[in-house]
Amino acid sequence: MRFLNPKTDYAFKKIFGSEASQDIVISFLNAILDLTGQDRIVGVTILDPRLAPKIDGMKDTYLDVRVRDHQGRSYIVEMQVLNVEGFEKRVLYNACKAYVNQLGKGDPYHILTEVVAVTITDFVMFPDLDRVVSRFRLRADENPLIHHRDLELVFAELPKFTKTEAELETTLDRWLTFLKTAKTLTAVPMSLSVEAAIVHAFDIANRAGWTEDELEVIEKRESWLADQRYIEQKRRETTERAEKALLAQEQAETVLKEREMVLKETETVLKETETALKERETVLKETETALKGTETALKETEAALKGTETVLKETEAALKGTETVLKETETALKERETALKETETVLKESELALREEKQKSEQVKNEFEQKAQKARLEGETKGEAEMLLRLLRRRYQALPDDIEDRIRRAPRDQLDMWSDRFVDARHWDDIFR
């Protein structure tokens, strides 16, 4: 057996989107979306099962699969082989268009249902992501767990799927293997035959079941795709060369500007150096004149030094007398320093005694104020208790002794509560309940 390449959009449409493909598309969607429980798809309606032929002269023909499940959710399934410019925007546009087209004129918004766009690519879209399948939804920045489920984009990048036949574990693994390897197989592998829907997909992909006209369309489509890949590769190579040339030109211009700047700075330095040399020449001349004046001054100084020597001898004799006076003064200063230290010690002791006396005074003052406050509060509480007893006796005559004892021992907040109850009470029991 020989199988057609399911990555060719015409073959992909017939395998996944024909009237006999319901079990195939249900199995594939449940696998790639990881649907379980109530979310699992059990039935679908294929909205456009017709195969649109390739129209000569058109740049491209998009043959996507559109289905609606038993819960009313819509799915767009597409195979994309070429990484054309604006492809990801087209996917988003088609998903939004399918979402909007659910409503007719005057229909309420609440009847809108979820739309999921599933795209399988034969190229890497997200080099920064390691996962084969990437899912995108509208999410809150502050809390990514909060998301809008009505619109979802799902991408499966086939080049990232590298498992061997022995490593296949899930239904999704087997579907991705089918998409990548079906064209090269001559029989259904045992590892894929465990999925009835995949076996059905192989049956549809079997070249023996296609007409000559259909096979011709497939061959033309694959030839066109090969041409487009070559054109795209050459375009990218040309773009890369142009970008490198542009970068080299920009770097050369930068070097030239930097060199021009260095030349200007060098010219400035040379001018400043020339000015400095002229100023140095002037300074040298002035220094020469000053040296001549200094020579004369030295001779005069020499004569003066001889006179100074005599003065120094006389000063030396005077200094010896001064030295004796200084020693006597030093002894007197030491005695005075000792007296000052003794005075400082006495002052510190006096200051410490004053602080202790002040602390004791503050302590006595605080204790007095606390006792006065306590006495005042006790007097107020006692007065309030007597006032309550007086009012009770006026209303109820005699009171039990235990009630009077409770009133006299009660704190002020308790007395306030009983006084409030007294106003509306009919019997003293209503007050002390």
Distance CA 408, CA 411 (A): 9
Do residues 50 and 17 lie in contact, with contact meaning Cβ atoms separated by under 8 Å? no
**Number of DSSP helices (H) and strands (E) in the chain, helices first:** 9, 6
pLDDT for position 58: 38
- 388-431 tens-digit pLDDT: 888 888 888 777 888 888 888 989 888 888 888 888 888 877 88
What does the pLDDT read at residue 50?
59
343-352 mean pLDDT: 82
Residues 28-62 have pLDDT tens digits of 999 999 999 998 999 998 887 655 444 344 344 44
- For residue 314 the two structure tokens come to 């006389």
Tell me what the mean pLDDT of segment 287-303 comes to: 82
Strands 115-121 and 44-46: what pairing?
unpaired
According to DSSP H, which parts of 182-211 are helical? 196-205
Q: What are the distances in angstroms from CA 373 to CA 233, 359, 368, 369, 412?
A: 97, 21, 9, 6, 14
pLDDT of residue 137: 87
Residue 158 pLDDT exceeds 90: yes
pLDDT digits (tens, 9 = 90+) for 194-224: 999 999 999 998 887 777 777 677 666 666 6
How large is the average pLDDT for residues 351-380? 78
Give the chain's radius of gyration (CA, Å). 53
CB 205, CB 10: distance < 8 Å: no
d(CA 238, CA 244): 10
What is the pLDDT at residue 239? 64
pTM of the model: 0.52
pLDDT of residue 53: 47
- What's the pLDDT score for residue 197? 95
Residues 288-311, mean pLDDT to the nearest whole number: 80
Candidates 100, 92, 44; CA nearest to 67 is 44
Q: In this predicted structure, what is the pLDDT of residue 186?
A: 92
* pLDDT at 161 > cutoff 80: yes
| Predicted pLDDT of residue 344 | 84
With beta carbons less than 8 A apart as the criterion, state whether 152 and 123 touch: no
pLDDT digits (tens, 9 = 90+) for 227-273: 566 666 666 667 677 778 778 788 878 878 888 888 888 888 889 98
- 372 band by pLDDT with thresholds 50, 70 and 90: low
Instruction: Note the pLDDT of residue 412.
Output: 86
Per-residue confidence (pLDDT) for residue 351, from 0 to 100: 84
User: Dihedral angle at the C-alpha atoms of 79, 85, 91, 93, nearest 10 degrees?
Assistant: -150
Sheet holding 74-80, edge to edge: 44-46, 65-69, 74-80, 115-121, 147-157, 133-139
Count of residues making up the chain:
433
Residue 67 structure tokens: 């289905």
What's the mean pLDDT in 319-335? 79
Alpha carbon distance 370, 373 (integer Å): 5
Q: Which DSSP symbol is given to 3? A: B
Tens-digit pLDDT profile for residues 111-156? 888 999 999 999 999 999 999 999 998 887 777 776 677 899 999 9
Degrees to nearest 5, angle at CA 271 with 265 and 277: 135
Cβ-based neighbour number of residue 177 at 10 Å: 22
